[in-house]
């Protein structure tokens, strides 16, 4: 270990987890972030502190470490064991005044809670919101570092596995370091705004480039979820900083919850397909709906069913117009946006196949989940899928509408010919991947 960088304080960015503290439906990044957070706090103990970006500045949460660890445990249970996030823990975090809002999905949860309570509790709810506002005012007067750590001269390792937080703000890492030696361990899930900019808003592209720029300005070790992401990141950073070789470490998300490569399952009595993911142009829902309109017109009542699971996202108007404004599709196409994990798995397990026609992916967790449930997959021919699936998946070019239509029709007519994907032996369970992540953090300061 170099003489100028001794045993550091590890600062794990929990901004995303704090803002998602009431989220009942986790994203793929949520699942990975909470696993790595739990592993990092456990591995480094008192030498690991949570950090959050709040009201425009970083905060090191030394005194608040206990509530934050409780939050991580609550979300780990909720997002992997189909329980609800612990409301008492979420309220403890509310009182810390460290988040600008309660996160994606929380307003619906809050409305549901209030609707089930008698009127007097609404007054208590208003009082709680006033307390939150007061706590934010107090927070604005805080320094980045608590008084008892202000004189601590240990070097720092900042850890980000969420694409959010301190590094999302210009100069955020310098503000956090305050002149101390700083190294960074960054886990990236994809670089889609740069790799396929046609599927992102201009502000998203600029924001993501600035995010990576924060890392470029510091000594950063990169880890990613796949070889495909590693290659894209290395190529981009090579163009941005010529002469500085970057070799990201690959740490795949863990495989768990469902048995891998399950035994053959009964063939569904009715041909039905599932597409899983946020409705946005990159996911290619529009092509599927155009195919279904043709199938319904040609096959009538014998046309297969399509279930779309996912929220409507950016640039989803054309998809929404077909779902909402095409009456002939209504008996054959169903949309469900607010499903708990157990319900998603139940619907996926009963499908003829998962359809995954994305134009680009950093990893593809739905493919892994389908394989674990023994469900066949028809997916785009993307490099990342060759990494995570060893055999048994139908791969098609995402823009080849005719090939997709043929494959769907054949799968509906002869489902017995389909096989579930066989996952790559390189994929491992969550404990093993979490250990690899904490070892990556250790290497970041060496």
Residue 114 pLDDT: 35
Which range, of 76-85, 98-107, 206-215, 408-417, averages the lowest pLDDT?
98-107
Closest CA to 279 of 220, 182, 358: 358
Whether 65 shows a pLDDT value over 60: the answer reads yes
Residue 287 contacts residue 308 (beta carbons within 8 Å): no
Distance CA(444)–CA(222), nearest Å, equals 9
Residue 269 pLDDT: 87
Q: Which two tokens stand for residue 270?
A: 């009715």
Report residue 103's pLDDT band, with 50, 70 and 90 as the boundaries.
very low
Residue 441 contacts residue 10 (beta carbons within 8 Å): yes
Report residue 129's pLDDT band, with 50, 70 and 90 as the boundaries.
low
Query: What domains appear along the chain, each with residue ranges and CATH number?
Result: 9-254+431-444 (no CATH), 272-423 (3.40.50.2000)
Residue 4 pLDDT: 57
The per-residue pLDDT for range 310-366, each reduced to its tens digit, is 999 989 999 999 999 999 999 999 999 989 888 999 999 999 999 999 999 999 999
Average pLDDT over residues 216-227: 95
Report residue 73's pLDDT band, with 50, 70 and 90 as the boundaries.
very high
Mean pLDDT is highest, among 81-85, 400-404, 424-428, for 400-404
Each as own residue / partner, the long-range contacts of residues 117-126 (CB below 8 Å, 24 or more positions apart, any chain) are none
Residues in contact with 371: Cβ distance below 8 Å, sequence separation at least 6, in sequence order: 260, 261, 377, 389, 420, 421, 422, 423
Alpha carbon 142 to its chain centroid, in Å, reads 31
Average pLDDT over residues 57-62: 94
Distance CA(430)–CA(76), nearest Å, equals 12
The per-residue pLDDT for range 105-115, each reduced to its tens digit, is 334 433 443 34
Q: Which two tokens stand for residue 308?
A: 């779309």
Average pLDDT over residues 379-403: 96
Residue 167 contacts residue 58 (beta carbons within 8 Å): no
């Amino acid at each position: 270990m170099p003489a100028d960088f001794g045993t550091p304080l590890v600062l794990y960015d929990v901004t995303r987890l704090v803002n998602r503290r009431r989220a009942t439906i986790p994203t793929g990044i949520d699942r990975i972030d909470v696993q790595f957070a739990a592993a990092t706090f456990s591995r480094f103990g008192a030498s690991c502190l949570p950090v959050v970006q709040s009201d425009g500045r970083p905060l090191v949460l030394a005194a608040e470490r206990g509530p934050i660890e409780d939050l991580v445990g609550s979300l780990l249970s909720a997002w992997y064991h189909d329980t609800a996030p612990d409301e008492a823990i979420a309220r403890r975090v509310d009182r810390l005044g460290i988040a600008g809002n309660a996160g994606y999905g929380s307003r619906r949860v809050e409305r549901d809670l209030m609707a089930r309570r008698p009127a007097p509790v609404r007054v208590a709810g208003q009082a709680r919101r006033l307390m939150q506002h007061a706590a934010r005012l107090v927070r604005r007067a805080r320094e980045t570092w608590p008084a008892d750590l202000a004189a601590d001269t240990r070097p720092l390792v900042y850890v980000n596995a969420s694409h959010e937080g301190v590094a999302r703000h210009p100069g955020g890492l310098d503000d956090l370091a305050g002149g101390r030696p700083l190294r960074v361990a960054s886990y990236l899930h994809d670089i889609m705004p740069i790799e396929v900019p046609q599927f992102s808003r201009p502000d998203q592209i600029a924001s993501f480039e600035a995010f990576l720029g924060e890392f470029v300005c510091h000594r950063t070790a990169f880890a990613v979820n796949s070889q495909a992401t590693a290659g894209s990141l290395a190529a981009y950073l090579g163009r941005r900083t010529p002469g500085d070789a970057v070799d990201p470490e690959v740490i795949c998300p863990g495989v768990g919850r469902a048995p891998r490569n399950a035994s053959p399952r009964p063939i569904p009595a009715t041909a039905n397909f599932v597409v899983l993911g946020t409705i946005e142009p990159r996911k290619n829902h529009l092509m599927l709906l155009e195919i279904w309109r043709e199938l319904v017109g040609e096959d009538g009542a014998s046309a297969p069913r399509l279930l779309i699971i996912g929220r409507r996202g950016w640039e989803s108007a054309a998809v929404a117009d077909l779902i909402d404004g095409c009456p002939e599709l209504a008996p054959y196409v169903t949309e469900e946006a607010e499903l708990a994990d157990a319900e998603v798995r139940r619907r996926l397990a009963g499908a003829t196949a998962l359809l995954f026609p994305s134009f680009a992916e950093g990893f593809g967790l739905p493919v892994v989940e389908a394989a674990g449930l023994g469900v066949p997959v028809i997916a785009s021919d993307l490099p990342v899928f060759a990494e995570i699936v060893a055999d048994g998946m139908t791969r098609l070019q995402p823009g080849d509408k005719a090939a997709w239509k043929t494959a769907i029709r054949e799968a509906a007519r002869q489902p017995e010919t389909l096989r579930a994907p066989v996952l790559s032996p390189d994929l491992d369970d969550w404990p093993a991947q979490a250990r690899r992540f904490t070892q990556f953090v250790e290497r970041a300061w060496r």
